[in-house]
Structure 1
């Protein structure tokens, strides 16, 4: 059949198993240096040229014939992310925005006079500095070199105040007291609530059960008289039926609770 389309083309043809040839293994050991090679000959205990005779027994020296990393580059190179390249200003902090220069000290010295400026000439004083110095030393009071003793201690800025760390300690102690007082209050509340719970006596429980069963019988008797009414054409009939059903369910729940072995009662606060 030479047709282009055929149903036989849908049948999966078996795949031919490709037989791979055996891996090539050299008969020469790969750990030996090549003959008359200068690559990696960096040890001081051998000549610059390694394995000149082409021996297959290995190097006859005490050291290796090359360094551990003597290769065309490192053995494992960690690839760097394309965005991790050195950018402008790398390693330098950004400069501040330039501003007008101003002197820090406003009280600057006067400017040096210009060469065109002339000093004031002809100033003469009549003061006798020698006699003035003598008079000043005569009238000067002697200095009191001996300091008078005083009992006052030097006062600093925080003199007479409670240290700040003591205030923190007082606050922590007050918080602990408040926490303990709150715990005692909660314990007292729990104890008072537990004291209001009491166990119902068997005699009282039996009396309540009898009363509930009698009440259930009375309500059920009234309810049974209403069950024959199939058509509930008024709202009053429907509400009365629902009220009887709710009363019966509530009484059954109460009877189930009182039928337990132990029944506890909680006193309601007045």
Structure 2
């Protein structure tokens, strides 16, 4: 089949212009200027990068060689160096050592003083390893210097004070217990009280026995029977008490 060609038109001959889509304006916050102004106010320019302006050093004050090394003090003048030290020559009032007089040569006098002087005592040390490691003996704690003190072994004042207070409290406690025991202790009755007590018990027994003898021969009621039993028990208890008092000469009673 023959190919169909597009119909030729005048609008197809001219090139068509492409219309680009127009973008909407970008969103900007209404608070943007106020936030920007606040950030500029609170910003510190030298916080991370140093101060804004630094004084430029002068080219004359450059770092010289050996300028930072320690320097020796300046030498004195020649006149000062010619002077002898004040204590090098002995004075007229100084006495020679051990009566040795040598006016012309004081060096010999100094030598004699050095020879006759006592030598310095070495510091006591302690060696504790094969390699020779040593340390001072006085500060090591091995020297018993604390036991040589005047107050060594003396009980402190606060300890003695506390012990005295404890002893005083113990004595007060014991005294209180003794008082309570004395209050609760048993009291010994005298012979007169014992005799009067014994007479009273016998008198009560006689009265109970008289009442018992007055009972009728025929006891036919419960009341009579109970009264008879009461008298018998009373007489029995009185007989027991009388026997106990007569048996024991010394009797104690408890304090109320």
Q: Give the structure-1-normalised TM-score.
A: 0.31
- Please identify the structure whose Cα radius of gyration is greater: 2
Q: Give the structure, 1 or 2, with the largest relative contact order (CA under 8 Å, sep 6 or more).
A: 2
Which is richer in helix?
Answer: 2
